[in-house]
């Protein structure tokens, strides 16, 4: 399988890249790690006339925690996310997800930015970003703007990104005491996209009451989905297994899966229910909750 | 059979479409070669450089037969453009043996019968080399996950796991 | 004290072939680069059944580097549009006017690089008129089904009917049985998915002599087929099978790509390379299985098996292109009575055409043996369950006892040797079966799902005796030619072809043992029809049973001559010598001896009077019988009720393949075979929608297991030599693929049996288990 012909550019700055995108509107695509784009091009399902490789732009790859935010540069490799001590110890949901994206080799090329920008409902990081309340910093011809992750996903492969915009950074609220998250994914085999996967994020007060919750679902709809009712059902409670089970049921109701080779829709809803309950238990434990 | 006149031909390296010069160091040897923008790294290695130890087993980035080290990290060279490797270091199976001495991973694969048809083997070994560099003493579970991007149809993976453990021990890991 | 020789039989000699593979110096077809070589690619059909109304190659021919296109009409002019299959059917090379399956090759594009060829393939425009499609073989047999092969005289999709056994007797035995279990089983289509796909490089030299480097498991048979089909003089064809990246049966057939590459090489005067993509391979290379089985098994109430009746619909796609060299259209399917002494059995199979790729092939087993073993081992479990008997106890009660070998089965096979209880008892001991059953009782009380599955299969390999096997009339013998050079070093050539089985090592070991020459001094060559003796190739675990035997006999022929030379050197009569401790010794005077190396030198420098110079021999071995390896597997699974996920906790495999030549290689073969037994049980299948669209035509959806899905296999062995093989070896590469699926499915059904479950279709995807649990209110 051979990609069709295209023109390749490797600009040194974000602005240069935006300039190229603007000049070649409709024909040009950003290339980050290429682990989503190149497979599509090899199958000739995507035929961009120009690729703009952003991997040579300095300072787009970093993981940095400051007083307000965790900042992840768009070009950060998924395996760098997985290897980061900060991520593993303080944002374990992202490490859970990162370890289940594709396979270890793909993760050495694939980037956080590519994973969240691709717009495939099967990508694993978007659900984490929704559950944890991330914002995306994007730069275009008119400068920077930030978009809440939950506003970003419009339809399958359709995002809020304008054609001449580039994602530069993902911003995540800094982890506090009483925060706990988890990502659980069921896959047909390692390296596969999810049958269904669930990201949950809980914040507990000092008494163990849930003060905020986020639940989002991977690959059970046209885009990543929020399970808002499931999340809000937990707020104000010191939850028990019965609450997690109930939240699981609500999450399953929020899912809109289609029957396909990964299984019938009803099954996928069942998996959402099971994984939500289990992920909530794990997140609850990580947040310091005691039952 | 419809045909155009058959011109004089050069080697089978990719031709046609925009091209550019790339500088890629393969197994410590620097190369400066004109490639098509769309040339995949695996074809650059196999067809342009004639280094056929790196194999192709699929179209969809699933099998890992094409695994090489790009700046010391294992990647699937069928899903990397040669131009993406410009200015970088590539290590392939041909670069494992040094000064007539096999790499411990190569020793391990032979000693433990970690290969049968040998088709997955170069990719499998490159992944193993990177794993041991990062984690000199991996558990069986860690090994199985580390090689989960490399398919093998012959061995059932048992002896590949043993081969990597063997190499770990030989390199001073796995006490 | 017994003397051993370096690399003799029974030693875990490190593999000779590894030296090149671990250095990236293997030589696979796609590694071959010839000056001026062109590339062939194909435009394929998006439809499963359609009339081709026009082909527009113009845009493709304008692409820089694209040199030529080849269509079915071009081939038809040379009478090459169709080719015969090994099953006396016909198959298209390229279609003249109708396509019969999705992914079928329609137009060949020849270009100066693989990139231009791919661009050309994408640019060819073809107009189609879709025709009605049938993909379900049962529906294909209905009177109003679309006709797949109107070119045939028989106006039906029914290809053949084949039956064997005692129909009336079996019906009567079942009618009289205290219990009968009926079970429908479907073994889905599979693709062998060797990591290397198929391909070739074809080249004519200036004298018009054709050389084809080809991914083939049977180079000689291919040469003869090419001679017969293309009318080329056979001495002008050279087939070279270089290193193969796995075969598993998928590299036995002749594929259209090979033929078109040869035509392209002829027309252009250049070497032409064709190498499939993985998707091409999944869509159009030969499949395995696709058997729809409906079976009844009977027993008395005290648990004695009485009869077995099996009816099967075999989906062959649009042509019966089975790579099956037996005289039986369903291959060796009638090994289906397995390890049990049925008095009465009856099997019938109907072959059917559908709009799917033609086949089928083995998938690491002898022809249709997995289908058979899976059926009998599932049914035996079913009837044990119905009788309320433990499945192990039931098997032990019914096995053909060791003292009845050679044993003639109800369906006509003569089993050479076996000790089935020995293997099962060892497997049960290794896994501690009683403890597992106890644990299961505890778990069931807590509502947890744990299952234990057994499979005690009997294989049939080593095709085969010429009475039952041939390819185009050529007997299924196997050849070995040995030359001992003056310095005592050996070159041996074979008609087989290793695809990873390690022939270079194993054959050396057999010869080391027989010739008394260390394995390191023996070179083995296979795969080049110009140099190797004729042979039918490697598949169906036949190499050790046939070529291994040929090696032994050829070596013994050499020993016979060598004895005369040794006698000459020692100035005694040949009768005064014995072959002992790997040398010729004067009987009773062991210090007076000559080694094979001494003899070899003399054979060229000082041959005995009246003997010719040189030390060579050839043998063509026609086996007197098949060999019947066997084994017992025990599998333990745990099921996650929340997800339906099946986790294989342990899997113990006890195999008996007779005499073992290299234990390390045998164990490796077993591991690999087990993985290819796991795959269809839990992961792999190829399906089609009603329009004939293939679902899952890449490794995204064709789920080859990774190291994470694969269990930590535990192996054990018993040794029951084959009485008719010169060294007692039986062949092993495929037993586990045959035996493992039933063990896994039996374990899952056992886990679910408290819920009243008696069967679950393979592959057992989590959603199927989840659905059952959901329907029973369990999650
Ligand atoms: C075999 C296989 C299995 C996979 N399995 C999974 C899986 O289980 N889960 C999962 O989540 N993913 C999976 N993937 C997809 C892949 O891992 C990620 O989607 C990939 O890492 C995306 O990152 P990338 O840098 O490679 O993106 P690219 O392929 O380079 O780009 C993807 C898309 O995002 C755009 N883009 C990239 N970066 C930016 C940016 N900074 N600004 C604007 N647009 C941008 C590109 O234009 C393109 O449209 C799999 C891929 C393969 C090949
Ligand atoms: S060739 Fe299969 S992953 Fe690269
Ligand atoms: S050794 Fe054959 S694929 Fe791994």
pLDDT digits (tens, 9 = 90+) for C665-704: 999 999 999 999 999 999 999 999 999 999 989 999 999 9
| Min Cα separation B138/chain C (Å) | 15
Range in C233-247, C334-348, C393-407, C472-486 with the lowest mean pLDDT: C472-486
- DSSP per residue, C138-181: HHHTSTTSPPS-TTSSS-SSEEEEEEEE-HHHHHHHHHH-SEEE
* Same domain flag for C164 and C272: no
Which of C 709-738 lie inside 8 A of B, CB atoms?
A: 710, 712-713
- Per-residue pLDDT for C95 more than 70? yes
Q: What is the CATH number of domain B104-170?
A: 1.10.150.120
Give the domain-ending residue among C586, C603, C621. C621
Co-location of C272 and C296 in the same domain? no
Contact call for residues C159 and C316 (beta carbons, < 8 A): yes
Report whether pLDDT(C352) > 80. yes
* B10 three-state secondary structure: coil
Is residue C526 within 8 Å of residue C532, measured between CB atoms? yes
Q: Is residue C372 part of a domain?
A: no
DSSP structure class, residue C189: B
Chain B residues touching residue C245 (CB < 8 angstroms) = 55, 57, 117-120
B-proximal residues of A, 26-55, CB under 8 Å: 31, 34-35, 38-39, 42-43, 51, 53, 55
Output the pLDDT for position B5. 41
pLDDT surpassing 70 at residue B10 = no
C672 in the same domain as C591: no
For residues C376 and C384, what is the distance between their CA atoms, to the nearest angstrom? Answer: 12
Query: B61-70, C223-232, C633-642: which has the minimum mean pLDDT?
Result: C223-232
Neighbouring chains to C with at least 3 Cβ pairs closer than 8 Å: A, B
**Count of domains forming chain C:** 4
Which residue range is the domain that position C37 belongs to? 32-131+197-244+251-280
B68 lines ligand 2 (CB under 6 A): no
Quote the tokens at residue C686.
Answer: 């190829």
Angle at A265 between CA A264 and CA A269, to 5 degrees: 120
pTM: predicted TM-score of the whole model, two decimal places: 0.96
Digitized pLDDT (tens) for each residue of chain A, 291 residues in all: 899 999 999 999 999 999 999 999 889 999 999 999 999 999 999 999 999 999 999 899 999 999 999 999 999 999 999 999 999 999 999 999 999 999 999 999 999 999 999 999 999 999 999 999 999 999 999 999 999 999 999 999 999 999 999 999 999 999 999 999 999 999 999 999 999 999 999 999 999 999 999 999 999 999 999 999 999 999 999 999 999 999 999 999 999 999 999 999 999 999 999 999 999 999 999 999 876
Domain ranges within chain B, ordered by starting residue: 8-95, 104-170
> What does DSSP assign to residue A127?
H
Closest chain A CA to residue B126: A105
Cβ-based neighbour number of residue C557 at 10 Å = 15
Catalytic residues of C: 217, 364-365, 734
Out of C563, C590, C621, a domain closes at C621
Clarify whether residues C191 and C51 are in a common domain: no
> What is the distance between the alpha carbons of residues C567 and A14, in angstroms, rounded to a whole number?
88
Q: What is the mean pLDDT of chain C?
A: 95
- State in Å: Cα C116 to ligand 2 middle: 20
Instruction: Give rounded-to-5 percent helix, strand, coil for chain C.
Output: 30, 25, 40
Task: Give dist(CA C101, CA A162) in Å, integer.
Answer: 42
User: pLDDT tens digits, residue range C136-194?
Assistant: 999 999 999 999 999 999 999 999 999 999 999 999 999 999 999 999 999 999 999 99
What is residue B13's predicted lDDT score, i.e. its pLDDT? 47
- What's the confidence (pLDDT) of residue B18? 85
CB hemisphere CA count around C526 (13 angstroms)? 33
Shortest CA gap A128–chain C (Å): 21
| Same-domain pairing of C190 and C202 | no
**CA-to-CA distance for C316 and C353, rounded, in angstroms?**
6
Query: Which of B2, B117, B148, B164 is the mutation pick for testing C, counting most C CBs within 10 A?
Result: B117
Position B16 scores a pLDDT of: 60
* Any C CB within 8 A of A283 CB: no
Q: Assess whether pLDDT exceeds 70 at residue B15.
A: no
pLDDT at B17 over 80: no
Contact A7 B146 (CB under 8 A): no
Q: Is the CB of B17 under 6 A from ligand 3?
A: no
The number of C-beta contacts closer than 8 angstroms across A and B is: 89
Q: How far is the CA of A118 from the centre of ligand 1 (A)?
A: 6
pLDDT recorded at residue B8: 35
CA-nearest residue, atom 49 of ligand 1: A118
Please tell me which of the candidates A2, A192, A271 has its beta carbon nearest to residue C643: A271
| Structural domain contains residue C12 | no
Contact residues for C599 (Cβ-Cβ < 8 A; gap 6+): C562, C565, C566, C569, C584, C615
Question: Does B114 contact ligand 2 (Cβ within 6 A)?
Answer: no
Contact assignment for B79 to A39 by CB distance below 8 Å: yes
Note whether A186 and C645 are within 8 A (CB).
Answer: yes
- The closest-lying atom of ligand 1 relative to the alpha carbon of residue C700 is 1
pLDDT of residue A291: 61
Hey, how many other C-beta atoms are within 10 angstroms of the C-beta on C641?
16
CB contact under 8 A, A5 and B20: no
Rounded CA separation C323/C249 (Å)? 8
Tell me: do C435 and C509 sit in the same domain: no
Mark yes or no for CB contact A189/C705 under 8 Å: yes
Cα→Cα distances C415→B28, C365, C558, Å = 59, 17, 31
Report whether residue B154 contacts ligand 3, using a CB cutoff of 6 Å: yes
For C66, phi then psi, to 5°, come to -80, 130
pLDDT of residue C366: 80
* CA pair distance C770, C588, nearest whole angstrom: 74
Is C51 in the same domain as C141? no
Mean pLDDT of chain B: 91
Residues 6+ apart with CB under 8 A from C661: C9, C10, C506, C509, C510, C544, C548, C727, C729
Q: What is the pLDDT of residue B11?
A: 41
pLDDT band at C517 (very low <50, low <70, confident <90, very high): very high
How many Cα neighbours within 13 Å face the side chain of B108? 26
Q: Give the three-class secondary structure for C292.
A: strand
B8-95 falls under which CATH superfamily?
Beta-grasp domain (3.10.20.30)
Task: Assign C714 to helix, strand or coil.
Answer: strand
Q: Does C576 share its domain with C537? A: yes
Q: What pairing do the DSSP bridges indicate for beta strands C344-352 and C305-315?
A: parallel
**Of the partner residues B75, B84, B86, the one whose CB lies closest to the CB of residue A105:** B75
A282 and C CB contact within 8 Å: no
Phi, psi of C370 (to 5 degrees): -65, -40
My answer on whether C658 and C552 are in the same domain is no
**Residue C266 β-bridge partners:** none
Q: Domains, chain A, ranges and CATH?
A: 7-53 (3.30.43.10), 62-173 (3.30.465.10), 179-285 (3.30.390.50)
Enter the tokens of residue B28.
């410590």
- Supply the CATH number for residue C726's domain: 3.30.365.10
**Do C188 and C202 fall within a single domain?**
no
Question: Would the pLDDT of C103 be above 50?
Answer: yes
Q: C-alpha angle with apex C640: C635 to C646, nearest 5 degrees? A: 35
Q: Are residues C653 and C539 in the same domain?
A: no
Ligand 1 atom closest to the CA of A117, numbered from 1: 34
Q: B147 pLDDT band (50/70/90 cuts)?
A: very high
- Regarding whether C178 and C69 lie in a shared domain, the answer is no
User: C297 lies in a domain?
Assistant: yes
């Amino acid at each position: 399988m051979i990609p069709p012909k295209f023109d390749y550019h490797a600009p040194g700055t974000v602005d240069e890249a935006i300039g190229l995108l603007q000049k070649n509107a409709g024909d040009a695509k950003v290339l980050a790690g290429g682990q989503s784009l190149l497979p599509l091009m090899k199958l000739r399902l995507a035929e961009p006339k120009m690729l703009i490789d952003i991997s040579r732009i300095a300072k787009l790859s970093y993981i940095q925690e400051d007083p307000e935010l965790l900042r992840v540069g768009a070009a950060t490799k998924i395996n760098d996310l997985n290897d980061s001590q900060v991520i593993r110890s303080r944002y374990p949901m992202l490490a859970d997800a990162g370890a289940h994206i594709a396979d270890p080799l793909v993760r050495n090329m694939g980037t956080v930015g590519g994973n969240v920008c691709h717009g495939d409902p099967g990508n694993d990081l978007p659900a984490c970003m929704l559950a944890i309340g991330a914002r995306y910093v994007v730069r275009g011809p008119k400068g920077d703007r930030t978009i809440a992750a939950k506003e970003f996903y419009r339809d399958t492969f359709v995002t809020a990104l304008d054609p001449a915009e580039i994602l530069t950074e993902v911003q995540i609220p800094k982890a506090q005491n009483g925060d706990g998250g988890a990502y659980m994914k069921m896959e047909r085999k390692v390296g596969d996209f999810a049958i269904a996967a669930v990201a949950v994020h809980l914040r507990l007060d000092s008494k163990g009451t849930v003060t905020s919750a986020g639940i989002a679902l991977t690959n059970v709809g046209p885009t990543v989905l929020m399970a808002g009712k499931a999340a809000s059902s937990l707020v104000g409670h010191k939850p028990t297994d019965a609450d997690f089970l109930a939240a699981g049921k609500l999450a399953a109701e929020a899912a809109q899966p289609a029957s396909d080779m990964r299984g019938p829709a009803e099954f996928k809803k069942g998996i959402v229910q099971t994984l939500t309950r289990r992920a909530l238990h794990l997140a609850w434990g990580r947040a310091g909750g005691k039952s | 059979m419809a045909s155009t006149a058959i011109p004089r031909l050069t080697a089978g390296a990719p031709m046609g479409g925009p091209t550019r010069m790339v500088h890629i160091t393969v197994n410590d040897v620097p190369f400066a070669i004109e490639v098509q923008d769309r040339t995949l790294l695996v074809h650059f290695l196999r067809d342009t450089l004639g280094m056929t130890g790196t194999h192709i087993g699929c179209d969809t980035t699933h099998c890992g037969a094409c695994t090489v080290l790009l700046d010391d990290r294992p990647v699937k060279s069928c899903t990397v453009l040669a131009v993406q490797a410009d200015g970088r270091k590539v290590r392939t199976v041909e670069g494992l043996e040094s000064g007539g001495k096999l790499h411990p991973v190569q020793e391990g694969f032979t000693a433990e019968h970690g290969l049968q048809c040998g088709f997955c083997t170069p990719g499998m070994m490159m992944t193993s080399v990177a794993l041991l560099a990062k984690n000199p003493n991996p558990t069986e579970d860690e090994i199985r996950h580390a090689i989960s991007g490399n398919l093998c149809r012959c061995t059932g993976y048992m002896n590949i796991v043993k081969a990597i453990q063997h190499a770990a021990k030989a390199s001073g890991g796995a006490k | 004290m017994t003397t051993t020789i370096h690399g003799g039989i029974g030693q875990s000699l490190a593999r000779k072939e590894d030296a090149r593979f671990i250095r990236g110096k293997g030589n696979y077809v796609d590694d071959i680069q010839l000056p001026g070589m062109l590339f062939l690619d194909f435009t394929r059909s998006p439809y499963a059944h359609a009339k081709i109304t026009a082909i527009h190659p113009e845009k493709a021919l304008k692409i820089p580097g694209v040199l030529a296109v080849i269509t079915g009409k071009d081939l038809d002019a040379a009478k090459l549009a169709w080719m015969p299959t090994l099953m006396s059917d016909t198959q298209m090379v390229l279609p003249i006017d109708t396509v019969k399956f999705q992914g079928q090759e329609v137009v060949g594009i020849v270009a100066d690089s693989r990139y231009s060829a791919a661009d050309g393939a994408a640019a060819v425009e073809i107009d189609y008129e879709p025709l009605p499609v049938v993909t379900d073989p049962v529906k294909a047999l209905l009177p109003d089904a679309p006709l797949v092969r109107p070119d045939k005289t028989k106006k039906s999709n029914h290809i053949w009917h084949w039956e064997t056994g005692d129909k009336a007797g079996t019906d009567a035995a079942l009618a009289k049985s205290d219990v009968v279990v009926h079970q429908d089983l479907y073994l889905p289509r599979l693709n062998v998915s060797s990591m290397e796909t198929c391909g070739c490089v074809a080249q004519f030299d200036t004298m018009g002599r054709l050389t084809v480097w080809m991914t083939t498991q049977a180079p000689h048979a291919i040469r003869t087929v090419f001679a017969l089909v293309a009318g080329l003089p056979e001495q002008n064809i050279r087939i070279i099978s270089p290193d193969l990246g796995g075969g598993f049966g998928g590299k036995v057939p002749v594929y259209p790509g090979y033929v078109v590459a040869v035509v392209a090489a002829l027309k252009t005067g250049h070497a032409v390379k064709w190498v499939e993509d993985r998707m091409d391979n999944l869509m159009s290379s030969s499949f395995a299985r696709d058997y729809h089985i409906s079976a009844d098994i009977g027993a008395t109430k005290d648990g004695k098996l009485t009869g077995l009746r099996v009816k099967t619909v075999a989906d062959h796609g649009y042509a019966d292109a089975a790579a099956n060299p037996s005289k039986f259209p369903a291959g060796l399917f009638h090994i289906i009575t397995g390890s049990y002494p049925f008095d009465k059995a009856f099997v019938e199979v109907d072959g059917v055409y559908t709009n799917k790729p033609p086949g089928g092939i083995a998938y690491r087993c002898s022809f249709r043996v997995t289908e058979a073993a899976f059926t009998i081992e599932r049914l035996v479990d079913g009837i044990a369950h119905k009788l309320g008997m433990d499945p192990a106890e039931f098997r032990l009660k019914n096995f053909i006892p060791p003292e009845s070998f050679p044993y003639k089965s109800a369906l006509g096979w003569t089993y050479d040797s076996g000790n089935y209880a020995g293997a099962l008892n060892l497997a049960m001991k290794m896994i501690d079966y009683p403890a597992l059953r106890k644990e299961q009782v505890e778990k069931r009380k807590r509502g947890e799902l744990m299952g234990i599955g057994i499979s005690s299969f009997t294989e049939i390999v080593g095709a085969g005796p010429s009475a039952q096997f041939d390819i185009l009339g050529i007997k299924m013998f196997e050849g070995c030619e040995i030359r001992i050079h003056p310095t005592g070093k050996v070159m041996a050539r074979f008609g087989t072809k290793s695809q990873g089985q390690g022939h270079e090592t194993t054959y050396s070991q057999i010869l080391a043992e027989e010739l008394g020459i260390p394995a390191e001094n023996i070179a083995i060559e296979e795969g080049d029809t110009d140099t190797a003796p004729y042979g039918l190739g490697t598949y169906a675990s036949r190499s050790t049973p046939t070529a291994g035997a040929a090696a032994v006999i050829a070596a013994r022929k050499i020993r016979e001559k060598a004895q005369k030379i040794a006698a000459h050197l020692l100035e005694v009569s040949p009768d005064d010598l014995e072959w002992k401790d790997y040398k010729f010794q004067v009987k009773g005077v062991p210090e007076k001896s000559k080694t094979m190396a001494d003899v070899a030198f003399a054979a060229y420098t000082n041959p005995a009077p009246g003997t010719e110079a040189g030390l060579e021999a050839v043998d063509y071995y026609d086996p007197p019988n098949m060999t019947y390896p066997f084994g017992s597997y025990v599998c333990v699974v745990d099921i996650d009720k929340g997800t339906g996920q099946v986790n294989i906790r342990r899997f113990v495999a006890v195999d008996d393949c007779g005499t073992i030549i290299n234990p390390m290689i045998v164990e490796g073969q077993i591991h690999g075979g087990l993985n290819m037994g796991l795959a269809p049980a839990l992961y792999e299948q190829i399906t089609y929608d009603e329009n004939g669209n293939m679902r899952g035509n890449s490794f995204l959806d064709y789920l080859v297991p990774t190291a994470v899905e694969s269990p930590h296999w535990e192996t054990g062995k018993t040794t029951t030599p084959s009485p008719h093989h010169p060294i007692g070896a039986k062949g092993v590469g495929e037993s586990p693929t045959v035996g493992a699926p039933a063990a896994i499915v039996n374990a899952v059904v056992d886990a679910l049996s408290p819920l009243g479950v008696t069967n679950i279709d393979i592959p057992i995807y989590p959603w199927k288990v989840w659905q059952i649990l959901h329907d029973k209110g369990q999650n």
